[in-house]
Amino acid sequence: MPLSEFDLIQRYFFRSSSESANLALGIGDDCALLDPPAGQQLAITTDTLVEGVHFLPDTDAQSLGYKSLAVNLSDLAAMGAAPRWFTLALTLPKVDEDWLAAFSRGLFELADQFSVCLIGGDTTQGPLSISITAMGTVPQGDAINRSGARPGDGIYVSGCLGLAGLGLQRAQRDQDADSEALRAFLKPEPRVELGLALRGLATACIDLSDGLASDLRHILTASSVGATIDGDALPALQPSAADATVDPVELALTAGDDYELCFTLPAAVTVGQLAQLRTLGVPVTRIGTIESEPGLRLKQADGSVVPLKSRGYEHFRSRTDDNNQ
Ligand code: ADP
Ligand code: MG
């Protein structure tokens, strides 16, 4: 007999250990009840993954469970918020217990790593889609917005850019099931510790979901500034690691799904502060400078500076838009 909705929740998503400080009531009632800590603001974000749009059909369920939470924790990290709770709205074509077991394993693998607690959700039938709302806390006034970048600030990114994009290309071609690139695409590590360390230091921050050229523009627009980035400085893939058909710099600028942080630091940042950020186990690379002149520019290997046209992934963007660029 197929599992009822309630048995399904009980078996795969309810955990007796589902207690967390500041959680008055978790899964099982009409709402969860939170007692946000005094002096802290709640940071709330939602991300949805839809089969065929955000992941390929037949993606393994464990990676999917992990990634659907990872992309949300990445948003909290970009605000400097500490992740605490999440809800899960799951739409399933059918009840497949092997799939559910693997999905919940991947989900809780990451939830446990950061002590984030599943406090509720919704379960419905339909085309596979996973929607998570994650909540975090940040001391009043300490959240890092997109709007604080100022001319003279340095622009920095964490990790390696383009690795997940290469992973996606390989997954589409069914290559190298075990490669580092595919892992970066399927199981991106949200940069939670880095986000926390950037509180009080970064002037602006965003997580890279759609590609650097696209996401950095959001900081520039929100902050009413421009920027030049140095193509040589980008932590792109080594040409030997990338496929011959892929330009590592192009990939670093336009590929989505890296979930690294892109942030700005004031020119007065000290060597000690940078060294502190670099103790967190993820590379931090300066890639350019915020300028007062609007627009995004790329300094090329020959020293010339060109306007950067390339953009990342955008939903609802048509081919006609491309031709009009
Ligand atoms: P209601 O019909 O009142 O919205 P539901 O029957 O949808 O409540 O859910 C019952 C309880 O189970 C609620 O506490 C809800 O938050 C929780 N829940 C439902 N689906 C999930 C899920 N996929 N993961 C975690 N909790 C869930
Ligand atoms: Mg419901």
- What pLDDT sits at residue 322? 44
Confidence at residue 315, expressed as pLDDT on a 0 to 100 scale: 57
Q: What is the pLDDT of residue 176?
A: 61
The tokens for 53 are: 């749009």
Residue 312 pLDDT exceeds 70: no
> Distance (Å, rounded) from C-alpha 219 to C-alpha 171?
31
Tokens of 150: 């100022």
pLDDT at 178 over 70: no
In the chain, helix, strand, coil percent, each to 5?
30, 25, 40
The DSSP annotation for 89-119 comes to EEEESS--HHHHHHHHHHHHHHHHHTT-EEE
Give residue 50 CA to ligand 1 midpoint distance, Å.
20
Q: Indicate whether residue 31 lines ligand 1 (CB < 6 A).
A: no
**Residue 6 φ/ψ, nearest 5 degrees:** -70, -40
SS3 state at 195: helix
Q: Is 48 exposed, middle or buried (0-12, 13-18, 19+ CB in 10 A)?
A: middle
Q: Is the CB of 120 under 6 A from ligand 1?
A: yes
Q: In this structure, which residue's CA is closest to atom 1 in ligand 1?
A: 30
Is residue 324 scored above 70 in pLDDT? no
Query: Using 50, 70 and 90 to split pLDDT, how confident is the model at 177?
Result: low
CB 260 within 8 A of CB 77: no
Percentage of the chain modeled with pLDDT above 90: 79
Cβ of 121 less than 6 Å from ligand 1? yes
pLDDT category at 321 given cuts 50, 70, 90 is very low
Q: What are phi and psi of 205, to 5 degrees?
A: -160, 150
What is the overall mean pLDDT for the chain? 91
pTM for this predicted structure: 0.92
Q: What is the pLDDT of residues 136-164, one digit of tens each?
A: 999 999 999 999 999 999 999 999 999 99
- Angle in degrees, CA 41, 32, 123, rounded to 5: 120
256-311, pLDDT tens digit by residue? Answer: 999 999 999 999 999 999 999 999 999 999 999 999 999 999 999 899 999 997 56
Which range of 80-94, 171-185, 231-245 scores highest in mean pLDDT? It is 80-94
Q: Which ligand is nearest to the CA of 31?
A: 1
What burial letters (b/e) apply to 18-41, b meaning 16+ CB within 10 Å?
A: beeeebeebbeeeebebeeeeebb
